[in-house]
């Protein structure tokens, strides 16, 4: 499995590489970071970026063993929701994660970077799970647990539970490299 993180201007610096490194320590997938993309301009009626604006800027993916996830520092909105931490469009093999609400004023200054990397890694892995067909999980510690608030993200681990791993093992084997 290959997952490419597409950072936008609002999520630049070393953060995308730190997130990819954290994910490599969890799963034996190929995690890569693509060149930075320009931030989309929000619609006038809202400060948040609509998910469709982000997905339209990502490359098309047709292989079932290749996923792309946008990473942006702007607030992200989806149809019917004011904001989301992340969003997955399985039919496109693409998703997006917003860093905007993954930082809290209560985060200690020294811990802020580490917490942001951990939270973002959880959200990227969560959206990757959706891209592979997983639904939200009832296990409080599973990365596939729905996060409504930041505390929900902090409670869960950055890994799939046994039940979700079993479900993932049922997915078809990747085709040979061409």
User: Per the residue annotation, which of 52, 127, 167, 177 is the catalytic one?
Assistant: 127
CA nearest to 8, candidates 31, 42, 44: 42
**Pure H helices in the chain:** 15-24, 51-55, 112-131, 150-155, 162-169
Decide: residue 110, CB within 10 A, 0-12 exposed, 13-18 middle, 19+ buried: exposed
In the chain, what's the furthest Cα-to-Cα distance?
A: 48
First-last CA distance in the chain: 14
CA atoms within 13 A on the CB side of 140: 4
- Concerning whether 127 is annotated as a catalytic residue, the answer is yes
Could you give the residue numbers annotated as active site?
Answer: 127
């Amino acid at each position: 499995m290959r997952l490419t993180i597409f950072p936008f201007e609002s999520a630049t610096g070393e953060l995308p590489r730190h997130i990819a490194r954290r994910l490599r320590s969890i799963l034996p997938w190929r995690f890569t970071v693509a060149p930075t993309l320009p931030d989309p301009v929000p619609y006038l009626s809202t400060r948040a970026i609509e998910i469709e604006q982000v997905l339209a800027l990502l490359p098309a993916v047709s292989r079932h063993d290749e996923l792309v996830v946008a990473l942006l520092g702007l607030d992200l909105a989806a149809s019917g929701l004011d904001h989301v931490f992340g969003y997955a469009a399985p039919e496109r093999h693409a998703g997006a994660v917003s860093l905007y609400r993954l930082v809290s004023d209560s985060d200690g200054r020294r811990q802020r970077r580490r917490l942001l990397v951990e939270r973002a890694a959880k959200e990227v892995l969560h959206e990757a799970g959706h891209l592979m067909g997983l639904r939200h999980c009832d296990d409080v510690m599973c990365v596939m647990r729905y996060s409504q608030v930041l505390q929900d993200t902090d409670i869960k681990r950055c890994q799939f539970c046994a039940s979700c791993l079993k479900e993932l093992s049922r997915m078809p084997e990747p085709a040979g490299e061409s």
